[in-house]
Structure 1
């Protein structure tokens, strides 16, 4: 790779292992070469729709497999990918996103590498989204990588956008919760580093991603597996039964899910998990992964490393802990993951490192309140013991006053 660009991560995998299975969804297994061709088709579709570097491209996220080609195609064009969820759309005004293009599910089917990856429905999202005016609120802080401003005319159909994407370009626009949801802007560089294999060491083998399609961590999980040139299995149907079936059918080595997913899986078919070598629980609220859940996972996966990871859209992975940690230190959310620095300032948890987001979309006030001097002020009250283990003790008043909503 010549840079920390999402498109290069994927292209490198396709060049190194073109025939290796990269993605399994339902009955269809696709190689890295086939996916690379699909991503090129997505890039051509975006070019035909006159998408340029820095433009925002929105599309449904109900099917992660169907949206993946656009995720990579937008990265290669230097565009900002905005996954949309129907269930949360009313709480997220279209004008706040102001995309230059909203892909319908029918258009997603055009770039999908196989019918099996296309959504069942071809119903379009609201076309008016594409023409929504930009809000009058301030842009993100000057210290953050600015949104690219292009003076060049739009490229001809089928030609690459100019100038080429850069590591600091914004790539993902993720909304973090209901109500006053804020748009978290993540650069290409941060997205690649969050998905680096060393950030969350895992054994080789097939990964079943049990995160819901709209979960922001699903994009990182898939990209992390592809950086290691491994296979990702996405259950074709939602629900614990489909997750258990995918683990059994593909002899998965790893399963990643939220606490709710894990509870459903354990209630459905825990005997299908015995061969796992890594069981990860991803949560934005450490209290949602109680010791009893980790112990239940450990019992069902005797040969696996059981691990809970505290992660947010703003920080990526922040801390990690295992069942033995909570047995010895009740209430801990573990220790910082590699590459992350933490500080306690007047009892508030501050975070610093290369995984941080760039700012809140078109919300300078919230960005300036949260990011100062390279430190992200989480708004969470915390303490740390003598061995470096962190304990979250609540939310500070300053964070409540900012109106930040908890992440899903």
Structure 2
């Protein structure tokens, strides 16, 4: 109790000293001293914080301190001085007519700066998770799952921070507070109207939540959509960005993946089978081609040693269809492996068995009309008349 009274006494004493000090200067000079003093103190405090972070950061590819410096450097430039200014603003020597609006403006700027600081802090958490769950692994199913969920959580958190910050700023005005009270009385009717107006947007939002937690698609999934092959680059609350193989971007509404069928080549694992088809003459020795395929696959680093099959899968009038089936760790390697097998098996067929390449047979039947051999013979003893 005595300690509390002592602290109050010290506080009153400091306040009296500041009041006495402010009376020694013209009011505008004192106000400038308070403002610039607060800003300078804020920048010095921010400089101390960043210096300590730079001292403790290491030179590795990822550092928590390095991430803090990267994402919080600029927000701290605004937040710390504004925070100090908020504390020192009541010390300014002016009437309430001017002091109250100024402190309100400073408070709104502080709320905006703090919201920006929180959003940047989310990015630090995202960096930490991205470093821990690396997508460069061959089988990155778990990493893709966590990253997909993190993207949704980050976007929802940022939206909530912005909404709360905007609400705090608007509710600081009496007129807006009265409008809000009026809206609450008609919340039933307005809710129905807003629900109909935002039906499509709400549908997309719910589809986003469904994809985030049921995960028919994930970040870095390989999809075939609308006849295009590509990887999922970004998933937002309303749309999905697909990075096509030729570096184009296909942007689709998020509810597309709830309502329409599509191919996901990495839904449960990144491993995949690849095929190559060949059309040859019936006289082609299939066993030799099968041995050549095995040799080629054993020499390639793209093959994961799971599947190696060569079969005659169809016959036509003049050719037979041969299918080479092979496996790879992911779709990119499978594509390269298929091209490698096609090129080399075609070379083998051309060099070793050119006579067995596809050909059309036209058999021409030649009909020879045999002419009879007439031999003149004379009877014995007969004489030729001259």
TM-score, normalised to structure 1, is: 0.19
Q: Computing the radius of gyration over CA atoms, which structure comes out larger, 1 or 2?
A: 2
**RCO (CA 8 Å, sep 6+): is it higher in 1 or 2?**
1
From the two aligned structures, give the one with the greater helix fraction: 2
Q: Which has the higher strand share?
A: 1
